Amino acid sequence: MRHGPLLFLGLLGAMALSWLGMIATPQFQLGNVQPTNVPPANVLYPAPDPGLANVGREIYRANGCAYCHTEVVRQQGALVSVVISNPGTNAPATIEALRKIRGDLTAPEAERLLAATPATALTTADKSAADRAAEAMSASGAEASVRVVPTGPEIERGWGTRLSVARDYIYHAPFLLGSIRLGPDLTNVGLRQPDAIWHLVHLYDPKLKVERSIMPRYPFLFEQRPRGAQPASDALPIPGTQDVIPKPEAYALVAYLLSRRADMPLFEAPAPMVMSSGAEGGSTNAQAAATNATSAPGTNSSTETAPR
């Protein structure tokens, strides 16, 4: 082969094809994803990160946290469940309807289940069976609906309620996806561990919180001073002879961590509303999460982190 120019053109063409296929096409498909209104709570999702969390993202980026932590939850499949939100007034009929769906339940068990609404009557992989069950329950006078329950080891691990989708990341700039999970996934760390002081102490020395942790310490995010007669008001509650006082970078990083929540059910990624049922409960949880994320770490951290 003697024709250099042909070689050049062939290479240019191959390069252009790869660019069109792998960059331009996904950009047309995804490049302009917008926040959306999520129906029950009617909140705009996702919300831009609060200012301090954005500063924290820079600390996260600079120190390469993403080399050990990811921010993506994978889902393997989904089940559907029939949730009874209101048993209605015709108790015998609902109990009978419920026992028709769930042959394994005795009458008293069915009654107990209906007493504790919202209750999951049935979880199955068969979508049409769930639809039929919900219809039968509705016919008996109860309020029943079919919900999607995502499954997969990462969801069972408590890393998230559903898979991560493009919409979750609209405001991630830069997007610190992560590559190797030497540490746990952080997509929802703000939900799992909402305590700012826990995070500060953990950043100062992870072994104080997780005994066998292999995470490095980040002492350079803190200032150490000899302890006076009594600990400084903003010192961390840790044993020792020194006061450990978080620098602004540490507060910002913790604000970023606390703002990591992606549990909002979306059209493209349905999920149960409640992640930690103990926290706020009900459908307001998502809204509470959104407002907490914007206010809590930013405004409170400098005052509330005082241990005593």
Q: How far is the CB of 97 from other proteins (least distance, A)?
A: 34
When the beta carbons of 61 and 132 are compared against other proteins, the nearer one is 61
Q: Strand, helix or coil at 17?
A: helix
Apex 246 CA angle, 303 and 293, nearest 5: 55
Q: How far is the CB of 233 from other proteins (least distance, A)?
A: 25
Positive or negative CA dihedral for 300, 302, 303, 306?
A: positive
When the beta carbons of 20 and 125 are compared against other proteins, the nearer one is 20
Q: How far is the CB of 216 from other proteins (least distance, A)?
A: 4
Q: Strand, helix or coil at 158?
A: coil
Positive or negative CA dihedral for 72, 185, 257, 288?
A: positive
Q: How far is the CB of 132 from other proteins (least distance, A)?
A: 30
When the beta carbons of 2 and 308 are compared against other proteins, the nearer one is 2
**CA 88 vs CA 117, 139, 202, 243: distances in Å:** 11, 11, 49, 59
When the beta carbons of 169 and 306 are compared against other proteins, the nearer one is 169
When the beta carbons of 179 and 233 are compared against other proteins, the nearer one is 179
Q: How far is the CB of 206 from other proteins (least distance, A)?
A: 8
The helix/strand count (H/E) of the chain reads as: 12, 7
